Amino acid sequence: MAEEKKPVKITETVLRDAHQSLIATRMTTEQMLPIIDKMDKVGYHSVECWGGATFDACLRFLKEDPWDRLRKLRDGFKNTKLQMLFRGQNILGYSPYSDDVVEYFVQKSIANGIDIIRIFDCLNDIRNLETAVKAANKENGHAQVALSYTLGDAYTMDYWKNMARQIEEMGADSICIKDMAGLLVPNEATKLVKALKEGTKLPIQLHTHYTSGVASMTYMKAVEAGCDIIDTAMSPLAMGTSQPATEVMAKAFEGTEFDPGFDQNLLAEIADYFRPLREQWLESGLLSPKVMGVNIKTLLYQVPGGMLSNMVSQLKEMHAEDKYDEVLEEIPRVRKDFGEIPLVTPSSQIVGTQAVLNVVMGERYKTLTKEAKDMLVGKYGRTTVPVNAEIQKKALDSLGMKEPITYRPADDLEPSLAKFEKEMAQYKQQDEDVLSYALFPQVATEFFKYREAQQTGVDVTAANTENKTYPV
């Protein structure tokens, strides 16, 4: 009897997470457009090309309008679904926004060309996902909810299965295992995919990073266990802190029931386009050889690649580079104190910065950052494990609060779209500008001024090219 075909679907990340992970989100729209026609012929499940840190980087460093980028990509991709990464109630920013802003952002993302919105919350707090999922459903977009994968006693197979069930009940169209730090090893991937398949009928997608060196093996085992879709990146921007290579994974499944049926000659032509760009980025120092290798400390300390580079720059600023190993050892302790939370934007920055302060100050929690206090008192949402009560009390006292927040944090936020509209009215050239301003007021205002100067022919300073890494 002939083997039943179950071709694995592939999401291409070269236009978003691959360059976010390797070159701090610095690929320009101009560099993307010439290869779109060929990419559109591959037969990808989707191309991830927007969201995450691309929005901030477009405005801040590339002096580009992210909405304009999305429209140009939509025009070019005639046959392929476009996908974005969305930080739940935080949208593409670092703190919660009111529901009206979340709903309007989802509406405008879909209207400008996004088909699939991958929505995650750094604490896996279901309440922080609901508004975005409902908004995507309303606009007839595909709402994919991503589970921020992490390790710890609380994160059992039953925990993940229960999460999957709740996500399905919420109205999501698919589930993604978001392994931002490359912690998912092959054997655990088999167990996890099987558990999720038992808990839900929704398609399962897997996103991981090559940081710890096991990603392609993890993909192989996950697909064999029933995973429907995997995220890969074209080889010049694959591996290291990015994803496994598209061509390699397609070849690995060739001739099996999971064969995606990709044309290797076409993939080679696409890789040939990106290769000279990679060389340019290496020569300029934008692509550091440091992010291209395997970092086994990822598995030891559960630290995503982007978080490591942020930590190094913080220590450098404090002239405390010699404290690197101490901080690495402190991170898991802070994470435990903060409720064993997954480490992904913004929780990764919050935990990382607090660990740096704990070590450099020579006394643990002598100083708590504003964001750390907010995390400890529930302003980001509910943690899976209770936070350290003693440190929480310190945070509550300093904020003048008696009790931590137990409700959905966004319930405290008044509708704010009209306020943002009023504040930025003088710069408005399109409806979407209010959303750019809502997320990054200062950065967007600078961009609006730059845009106006360009349109009126005034000489303006070139975009800031300071190399800053943005985690997921």
Using a CB cutoff of 8 Å and minimum separation of 24, what contacts does 348-351 make? 348/122, 348/303, 348/304, 348/306, 348/307, 348/471, 349/94, 349/307, 349/310, 349/471, 350/375
Whole-angstrom distance, CA of residue 28 vs CA of residue 26: 6
Reported as a single tens digit per residue, the pLDDT across 314-351 is 888 889 889 988 998 999 999 999 999 999 888 988 99
Reported as a single tens digit per residue, the pLDDT across 396-405 is 999 999 999 9
Per CATH, the homologous superfamily of domain 7-287 is Aldolase class I (3.20.20.70)
User: Which residue, chain included where needed, has tokens 């970092």?
Assistant: 295
Q: What is the pLDDT of residue 305?
A: 64
* Whether domain 302-405 has CATH 1.10.472.90: yes
* Sequence ranges of the domains in the chain: 7-287, 302-405
Residue 306 pLDDT grade (very low, low, confident, very high; cuts 50, 70, 90): low
How much is the average pLDDT of 366-378?
A: 96
Whole-angstrom distance, CA of residue 471 vs CA of residue 461: 27
First CA to last CA distance, the chain: 45
The overall average pLDDT reported for the chain is: 93
Whole-angstrom distance, CA of residue 129 vs CA of residue 162: 15
